[in-house]
Amino acid sequence: MTWNIVSDSSCDLRTSSFQSDRVLFHSVPLRIQVGDQEFLDNDDLVVPEMLEAMAAEKSASSSACPSPADFARAFEAGDCTVCFTISSNLSGTYNSAVMARDLVLEEHPEKRICVIDSRATAGAMVLLIRRAQALMEADEDGDFEGICAQLRVYQAALRTCFTLENFDNLIKNGRMRPLVGTLLHTLGIHVIADATPQGTIHVADKARGEAKTYRAITALMRSSKECDGAEVVISHCENLEGAMKLKQQILADLPVKQVDIISCRGLTSFYAMKKGLILGY
């Protein structure tokens, strides 16, 4: 029996970084359209080049979810597949994966495929993938349904929050007035937001300056769940220095187990923009 983990590329986990003797991993890329240029969010994407193109493009950029055929090819690689997608309230990716599951099962009814809406993105999806890998590698009985049930419970306990420093994409997409964005940037004000249990975005706070922003984030984390022994993943968009400072603040303020730092891939960079930070915990 072949275990298989599939995710869309908003998870920020590169295919090249996944290692297992028992479990396959496939990252199905989204696409980012910037003017006449299309960027495929795979391991070869150079994020700074995409960000430069977005900054130079006057019109709004957009993203496109993978097709059912893209997911179907990944599902066919395994006997038992668990798929994680970006929040269905942010993208059509979940629906595309569900359609792919139904198509594959029509032709291969012996396969087992579970699609889980992460109701998040970035680090929360990395944590789901890690938990799925650990459960699959420890499994001795082929308990597919049991593993899926455990992952759904784990997903419900995860939280996501993020902070933005660049608002150009929001302005170009008409989600923020130019004057407001300019004022926030000029004053050094960071927007702090989190994901609701339904997977929508909620603006939780604003803070001026790095130090206040990071303290506000740890306060939000503390109020949102019990963080004792929690694992944290910070995704940064061209902001390793900021991610390191935030990691130190988290370790100082909260009894977490560990904090890992990874860089944003294309889709999360599209949303977070330069210096943005996304936390899954």
- The CATH number covering residue 135 comes to 3.40.50.10440
pLDDT, tens digit, for every residue of 116-165? 999 999 999 999 999 999 999 999 898 999 999 999 999 999 999 999 87
Q: H or E segment at 81?
A: strand 80-85
Same domain, 119 and 137: yes
The distance in angstroms from the start CA to the end CA of the chain is 31
Residue 41 lies in a domain: no
Mean pLDDT (whole number) for 177-194:
63
* Total domains, the chain: 2
- The pLDDT of residue 179: 46
Residue 172 lies in a domain: yes
Which residue among 157, 177, 206 closes a domain? 157
Q: Mark 199-225 as b/e (b = at least 16 C-beta within 10 Å).
A: beeeebbbbeebebbbebbbbbbeeee
Residue 44 lies in a domain: no
Same domain, 174 and 212: yes
Same domain, 200 and 269: yes
pLDDT, tens digit, for every residue of 255-273? 999 999 999 999 999 988 9
Same domain, 87 and 207: no
Same domain, 172 and 108: no
**Phi/psi at 13 (nearest 5 deg)?**
-90, 120
Cα 38 from Cα 40, distance rounded (Å): 7
Domain extent at residue 73: 3-30+65-157
Same domain, 15 and 127: yes
Adjacent-strand bridge partners of 82: 5, 114
Residue 190 lies in a domain: yes
Residue 38 lies in a domain: no
Cα 204 from Cα 277, distance rounded (Å): 15
Scanning 225-281, the segments in alpha helix (DSSP H) are 240-253, 266-272
Same domain, 128 and 10: yes
- Whole-angstrom CA distances from 135 to 3, 5, 150, 165 are 10, 11, 9, 37
Same domain, 8 and 79: yes
| CATH number where 227 lies | 3.30.1180.10
- The pLDDT of residue 181: 46
The structure's pTM equals 0.92
pLDDT, tens digit, for every residue of 117-131? 999 999 999 999 999
Which residue among 123, 157, 191 closes a domain? 157
Same domain, 136 and 242: no
pLDDT, tens digit, for every residue of 35-92? 999 999 999 999 999 999 999 998 888 999 999 999 999 999 999 999 999 999 889 9
Residue 59 lies in a domain: no
Same domain, 120 and 198: no
pLDDT cut 90: percent of the chain above it: 78
Residue 200 lies in a domain: yes
Which residue among 157, 189, 222 closes a domain? 157
